[in-house]
A and B are shown apart, each in its own frame.
Chain A
């Protein structure tokens, strides 16, 4: 049985691992302005966060995570390198799994630094690994950056690539689009042309904020799309291969180096992957045992766009991950409105790490 006193002392021990790096200890507000979170996560966040109201600021949310308020705070002040650590509660609605806690502690660490991003990736991973010392865990890793580079290097239109990149975190929609763009399924586009458009004003009442020029533009896009050749099947095969990769990091590295000969666009990210593994190896991680999954981080970790990882209980399969983390370079740019700085971070769940420690002793 875990009690609050023990969880707090576990949290303190975990936080000590991060604090010894000299990271600045921060504590963002409990209440966050909804619009900021909604603009980043979309409406989905309403299903996961508790919502309340302020007479001046309007709709607010009890913080569902720390990363976004910390990025906001950092980007508002400066874009110089920094390390932050924090320990506090986050709040989540639990509709689908009513037995899961609605408030729980997170201990976290975030690095804002573009000097050596792979070294920073490794630093976060190694600190988490150190904090979880002697807890039996299964580790999953992945790299969204490689997938994004592969999409960007497809020899097809920018419109298609942007559509795929926009849905990299929604695997079903991504698959639907990929099938359409590669001619595997036919898209039932509205069968309208510019003649229909010219009759628009006579036939319909124009209502709402979407104007007729946006409709014309999209009809032209559809027209162009239907005339564009399907994506080369060889490239689709490579993309499918990357998405279904599942092996140890050492094996995956060898494989990716071969793949990047056929798809030179991913070479730079594969080199980064290599560099990251070297740092991990130098610090005692056995990359012959470390798992890699090509699609890892695509469903539950929106906004991660590079290295991603999660630590799971080896025995309790239904337990939420005890630690998760990853790189989120693009997020700093979206929040920084023009300013940007590469960033990577991770969180630990002291309630779960304590549970596993105790189970390990029983």
Chain B
């Protein structure tokens, strides 16, 4: 059986259903909305697995999923050297989000990473601790700031409502995904001009570590062909 992982909730799930059905594959959620089970019409030998988009990278990297839909942001954050583990098959054209660094709007002396670095030095000297940046994207943020040569900051873990972290006194800046920027504005934050860490969208990935039987391999190829041509 080929195992296909699909986000289990919300718009991302609905749009994924739409994308597959445009290509002749109907994903059907079981009749009860509360049960995370479903079936696939239009191709045999594929099992539908509903998972949080957060968990799909891990399941792909372990080979328990053969295919899965999730954001590039989550793949890159959660999988070190991801290109050894998964291969992007197709960008789905929705779920667009940028991972960005944002600072309080009233920091009128800060526009860029250069400024953020200078302010980090100043902040540490004045306050005796390193400027806090709240995020759940620890790895991506750290690698981005190392490359940019920003020093004297610290990463504070924030698994949700990150845009509120500054107002709530948990951090001085944040790194989070945003699509329209409205939530940032509502929380009195602005994006650094060169603070886009990554542009992400919903993407269908293939696991490179899953072992396929000959039969499963045929189903996988058939699935890919259908997705490519729509029949």
Contact surface of A with B, Cβ cutoff 8 Å = 38-39, 42-44, 46-47, 95-96, 98, 163, 166-167, 170, 172-173, 176, 187-188, 190, 192, 196-197, 200, 203-210, 212, 214-215, 217-219, 222
Contact status A215-B109, CB under 8 Å: yes
Interfacial chain B residues near A46, Cβ < 8 Å = 138, 142, 155
| B151-201 interface (Cβ within 8 A of A) | 151-155, 166-167, 169, 171-173, 188
Interfacial chain A residues near B88, Cβ < 8 Å = none
Interfacial chain B residues near A208, Cβ < 8 Å = 104, 166-167, 169, 171-173
Known: A166-B121, A214-B126. A205 touches B106 (CB 8 A): yes
Interfacial chain B residues near A222, Cβ < 8 Å = 109
Contact status B106-A200, CB under 8 Å: yes
Contact status A190-B111, CB under 8 Å: yes
Contact surface of B with A, Cβ cutoff 8 Å = 80-81, 104-112, 114-115, 117-119, 121-123, 126-127, 130-131, 138-139, 142-143, 145-146, 148-155, 166-167, 169, 171-173, 188
Known: A42-B130, A166-B151, A208-B104. 14 other contacts (CB 8 A): A38-B154, A42-B152, A47-B143, A170-B151, A173-B149, A176-B114, A188-B111, A188-B112, A190-B110, A197-B108, A208-B172, A210-B107, A210-B119, A219-B109
Complex: chain A residue closest to B194, CB-CB: A188
Contact status B153-A200, CB under 8 Å: no
Contact status A207-B154, CB under 8 Å: no
When chains A and B are docked, how far (Å) is the Cα of A268 from the Cα of B150? 31
Contact status A209-B114, CB under 8 Å: no
Interfacial chain B residues near A43, Cβ < 8 Å = 142, 145, 153-155
Contact status A210-B172, CB under 8 Å: yes
Known: A190-B115, A218-B119. A167 touches B149 (CB 8 A): yes
Known: A42-B151, A163-B121. A209 touches B169 (CB 8 A): yes
Interfacial chain A residues near B80, Cβ < 8 Å = 95
Contact status A217-B122, CB under 8 Å: yes
Least Cβ distance of B16 to chain A in Å?
Answer: 30
12 A-B pairs with CB atoms under 8 Å apart are A42-B151, A43-B153, A44-B142, A170-B149, A173-B150, A176-B114, A200-B106, A206-B104, A206-B106, A214-B119, A214-B123, A214-B126
Contact status A95-B81, CB under 8 Å: yes
Complex: chain A residue closest to B123, CB-CB: A210
**3 cross-chain pairs, A with B, having the tightest CB-CB distances, nearest first:** A173-B149, A204-B106, A208-B166
Interfacial chain A residues near B173, Cβ < 8 Å = 208
Contact status A219-B108, CB under 8 Å: yes
Least Cβ distance of A96 to chain B in Å?
Answer: 8
Interfacial chain B residues near A209, Cβ < 8 Å = 127, 169, 172
Interfacial chain A residues near B150, Cβ < 8 Å = 173
Contact status A207-B104, CB under 8 Å: yes
Interfacial chain A residues near B126, Cβ < 8 Å = 214
Complex: chain A residue closest to B146, CB-CB: A44
Least Cβ distance of B93 to chain A in Å?
Answer: 31
Interfacial chain B residues near A192, Cβ < 8 Å = 108-109
When chains A and B are docked, how far (Å) is the Cα of A176 from the Cα of B112? 14
Complex: chain B residue closest to A225, CB-CB: B118
Complex: chain B residue closest to A180, CB-CB: B114
When chains A and B are docked, how far (Å) is the Cα of A113 from the Cα of B121? 31
When chains A and B are docked, how far (Å) is the Cα of A200 from the Cα of B81? 44
Complex: chain A residue closest to B153, CB-CB: A43
Least Cβ distance of B3 to chain A in Å?
Answer: 26
Interfacial chain B residues near A38, Cβ < 8 Å = 130, 154
Interfacial chain B residues near A176, Cβ < 8 Å = 114, 149
Interfacial chain A residues near B148, Cβ < 8 Å = 173
Known: A166-B151, A188-B111. A205 touches B118 (CB 8 A): no
Known: A204-B105, A208-B104, A219-B108. A167 touches B81 (CB 8 A): no
Complex: chain A residue closest to B148, CB-CB: A173
When chains A and B are docked, how far (Å) is the Cα of A203 from the Cα of B114? 24
- Which of B118, B122, B142 has the largest count of A CB atoms less than 10 A from its CB? B118
Least Cβ distance of B94 to chain A in Å?
Answer: 31
Contact status A207-B138, CB under 8 Å: no
When chains A and B are docked, how far (Å) is the Cα of A212 from the Cα of B104? 11
When chains A and B are docked, how far (Å) is the Cα of A205 from the Cα of B104? 9
Interfacial chain B residues near A42, Cβ < 8 Å = 130, 151-153
The listed residue (A39, A47, A200) touching B108 by CB distance below 8 A is: A200
When chains A and B are docked, how far (Å) is the Cα of A176 from the Cα of B114? 9
